[in-house]
Structure 1
Amino acid sequence: MTDPLAKPRLLVARRLFDDLLEPLHTHYTLIQHDADEALSPAALREQLQGCWGLLGSGSEQVDAELLAACPDLRAVALITVGYNNLALEACRARGLRLSHAPGVLTEATAEFGLALLLATARRVGESERYLRSGRWQGWAIDQFAGAPVMGRTLGVLGLGRIGQRIAQAARDGLGMKVLHHNRRPVEGWGSGADSGWRSLPDLLAQSDHLMVCVPYGAGTHHLIGAPELAQMPAHACLINLARGGVVDDRALAAALQRGQIAAAGLDVFEGEPAVCPELLACENAVLTPHIASATLPTRRAMVQLAVDNLLAWARGEPGPTPIPI
C-alpha cells in the first residue's frame, strides 16, 4: 500500500464536491478547507506550508509574497475561467503548473447575462421589492416602466467565448443589433452598419444596453469609469459579468444616482464579497452575488476540469486546460 505521507500535499481551498475530489486521494494527500468562506491571506500561507499544489477559485491570491512564503508550491488548479488572482510573472519564475476552467461555464454565464439584462432593463428587482413591502396599491399607466430590449442595440465589451454566446443569443433570440469592442477582430463579427466592431467611445454612445465581458487585468482596471459612463445614453443599462474592478463601482453608483444612465445589473464587484455602499443604496441597480455560472451541472464541470488537470499532472502528463504563461 502506498504510504499516504509520501503523496504530494494538495490544499483544497474551498468546499467543493466530495465525489469529484475522490480520485485525487489516490495521488495526493488532501488538506481540505471545507468551508464556503475564503481563507485569509495569512491563513492561506499557513495552510500551504509543505503543499505541492493548490486547488482553488478566484479568491486565493497567488502572488510573489505568497510564493516566497510557500517554497514547496509547484501547481495551482483553478475552478474558474478567470485567473487575474495569479501573478503570472512570479508563477513563471517559479515554474508553476497552472490550469483554469474555460469553456464549461460559457452557456450558463451567457444565459445569466441575458437574464440580468432583462431583469435590469425591465426593473424586476425594484418592482419585486415594492410589491413585497406591501406598497403596491394597484395598476398605474407608467408604474415601473422600464427600457425595451427586443430590437434594441446591445454593445458587447469583450467578444470572447461568453461575449460571443451572448451576442449570438441576443441577435438570434431577441432580434437585437449587436455591436462590440474587442482587442482583436473576431471572425464572423464584421463591421457593418448594424453590427460589428466599434471603437470604445462609439460603442458606448451607440448602445442601448452595454454588456461587459472583458477579463480583468492592469489594462482593464476601471475600463468603465466616470468618463465612459458620461458617454452612454441616459436610457442605457450597463451589465457587468466580467470581474469587479473592470467597472469603477463608485463612479457607477454616482451615475445611477444622478440618472446619468437608467440602470445597472452587476454580478461582480470590486473587493467582493464587500459591495460599495453607494451601490447598495441604488434602487435602479440589480445586484447578484457572483452567480452567473451557478447551475449545478456547470459548477460540477468546473470542479471536474480542475480535477482532470491535477490527475494529468500526477501521471506526468500535461493538463487539458493549462493557463498560457
Structure 2
Amino acid sequence: MTRRILVFREISADQLDSLRADFEVDYLPHVTDADDPAFMDALSRAHGLVGASLKITPALLDQAPQLEAIASISVGYDNYPVDELTRRGILLCNTPDVLTETTADTGFLLIMSTARRAIELAELIKQGKWTESIGKSHFGTDVHGKTLGMVGMGRIGAAIARRGALGFGMKILYAKASPKPALDAELGAQHRELDQLLEEADIVCVTVPLTEETEKLIGAAEFARMKAGAIFVNVARGKVVDEAAMIAALKDGTLHAAGLDVFEKEPLPADSPLPHMANVVALPHIGSATHETRTAMAQRAIDNIRLALSGQRPLSPVNADDLNDG
C-alpha cells in the first residue's frame, strides 16, 4: 500500500516532486485553520503529516485513524500534544540545528536595533524629520562590553551568547538552563539563578521553549527586578512573557526597550499597542525566515517523515524513546 502524506506548509517544487515519487501527497500549503474541510478530508487518510503553525489537538487526532508520524517544520513543538501522540503510538519529529544560526542572527539583530534605536531613527528619515544633527534625545546605548543575560541556553541561546561574547566583548550570564562547563570555558559564561541574572544584565534575551513551567515565566515581578535602562529581547515564544506586564513596564519606564519576534497572539492583533511604541522593535516572527534556512527545515522534515514511515529512526525525533519504552 502506498502511504499518504499531508503537507500543510509550503515546500519547494523539487521537494514536493521527491515526496510524490514515493508517496501519495495532499499538498495544502496555505491552510491556516485546521477546521478547513480540505485539511480535514486529507487528514482522515494521512499516514504522515509535514507542516507547521497549526494546532494539532486530540480531537483532530481522532479524525486521523491511520496517522503514524508527524514531521513538524519547526524546532518548537508546543503545537503538538506530545503525551497524547506517544499514547497513540504516533512519532513526532522536529527540525533542530538547521535554524540555530539564522535564529541567533535574528536575536542579535533585535539586540542591536533596539539598543541603537535603529528602526525608530530610520523612520525619522523616512518621515523627513531629520533636520538637524542628532542630539541626546535620540542617542542609543552601546552593546559592546555590556552584560547579556540569556534566559535559556540551548542551541539558539548559546549561538546568541557566542555572538555577544566573541563579537562584542559582552559578559555572558545564563539562567533556566543546567550549568554548561564547555560554554563557561569558551565564553567566560556564568550560571545564575533567574532573579540574579535579571538584576545584573543590561540586556535580557529569552530563548527557553514554551512549556507549562515556562508559560509567563517573565512577568511584572521579573521586569521590576531588571536594571534601570535594561533592554528585553524575546525570540522564544510569546506566551513565555506576560505581555500585559511587559507593555506596562515599557510604558512606565521600568523597562527601557524591547525587541520582539514573538507574541502571545500571532499575527499581532490590530489593537496591540506594541507596534506603535517608540521603544519597541517588533518583527513578524521571522526568526528562521530566510530562503536557505526554510528550505533546509523543510528538507529535514521530509527526511524525517521518509525515515519514520519506512520504520527507521528519524534524524530528529521528539518522542521516539518514549514510544520505544512503551
* TM-score interval, normalised by the smaller of the two chains: over 0.9
Looking at structure 1, the residues matched to 41 and 127 of structure 2 have their Cα atoms a distance apart, in angstroms, of 46
Looking at structure 2, the residues matched to 45 and 277 of structure 1 have their Cα atoms a distance apart, in angstroms, of 32
Looking at structure 2, the residues matched to 322 and 217 of structure 1 have their Cα atoms a distance apart, in angstroms, of 18
CA shift, 1:21, in A, is 2.4
CA shift, 1:116, in A, is 1.1
Determine which of 180, 184, 187 is the counterpart of 1:186. 180
Q: Is the 8 A contact 1:237 1:261 kept in 2?
A: yes
1:96-155 CA distance string (max 9 Å, x none)? 021100001111111221111000111011111222112221213214211211000000
Give the aligned residue type for 2:191. W
Q: Is the 8 A contact 1:250 1:279 kept in 2?
A: no
Give the aligned residue type for 2:126. R
Give the aligned residue type for 1:233. K
1:39 alignment partner in structure 2? 32
Gap change, CA 1:20 and 1:170, over 3 Å in 2: same
Determine which of 287, 302, 311 is the counterpart of 1:316. 311
Instruction: Kindly report which structure 2 residues correspond to 1:84-99, keeping only aligned pairs within 5 A, or say none.
Output: 84-99=78-93
Looking at structure 2, the residues matched to 315 and 76 of structure 1 have their Cα atoms a distance apart, in angstroms, of 13
CA shift, 1:46, in A, is 4.2
Whether 2:17 is the aligned partner of 1:22: answer yes
Q: Is the 8 A contact 1:249 1:279 kept in 2?
A: no
Whether 2:172 is the aligned partner of 1:174: answer no
1:230-250 CA distance string (max 9 Å, x none)? 111121111101111011222
1:247 alignment partner in structure 2? 241
1:3 alignment partner in structure 2? none
Whether 2:203 is the aligned partner of 1:214: answer no
* Residues paired across the two proteins, number: 315
SS in 1 for 2:132: coil
Determine which of 233, 251, 264 is the counterpart of 1:257. 251
Determine which of 54, 58, 61 is the counterpart of 1:60. 54
Determine which of 160, 165, 177 is the counterpart of 2:159. 165
Determine which of 126, 138, 145 is the counterpart of 1:132. 126
1:287 alignment partner in structure 2? 282
SS in 1 for 2:136: coil
Q: Is the 8 A contact 1:182 1:197 kept in 2?
A: no
| RMSD (Å), alpha carbons | 1.7
Query: TM-score when scaled to structure 2?
Result: 0.92
Q: Is the 8 A contact 1:157 1:181 kept in 2?
A: yes
Give the aligned residue type for 1:172. L
1:260-315 CA distance string (max 9 Å, x none)? 11100001111211346021231110011111212221111101101111221243
CA shift, 1:65, in A, is 1.6
CA shift, 1:190, in A, is 4.1
Give the aligned residue type for 2:312. E
Whether 2:106 is the aligned partner of 1:112: answer yes
Give the aligned residue type for 1:155. G
Q: What residue ranges of structure 2 are gaps of 5+ in the alignment?
A: none
Looking at structure 1, the residues matched to 11 and 264 of structure 2 have their Cα atoms a distance apart, in angstroms, of 24
CA shift, 1:321, in A, is 0.9
Q: Is the 8 A contact 2:82 2:92 kept in 1?
A: no
Q: Is the 8 A contact 2:165 2:172 kept in 1?
A: yes
Gap change, CA 1:125 and 1:131, over 3 Å in 2: same
SS in 2 for 1:245: helix
Looking at structure 2, the residues matched to 115 and 280 of structure 1 have their Cα atoms a distance apart, in angstroms, of 17
2:94 alignment partner in structure 1? 100
Q: Is the 8 A contact 2:68 2:309 kept in 1?
A: no
Q: Is the 8 A contact 1:189 1:197 kept in 2?
A: no
Whether 2:256 is the aligned partner of 1:267: answer no
CA shift, 1:189, in A, is 3.8
Q: What residue ranges of structure 1 are gaps of 5+ in the alignment?
A: 1-5
Give the aligned residue type for 1:64. P
Determine which of 210, 213, 223 is the counterpart of 2:217. 223
1:56-88 CA distance string (max 9 Å, x none)? 11x111221211232222211011111111101
Looking at structure 1, the residues matched to 281 and 255 of structure 2 have their Cα atoms a distance apart, in angstroms, of 14
Looking at structure 2, the residues matched to 295 and 187 of structure 1 have their Cα atoms a distance apart, in angstroms, of 32
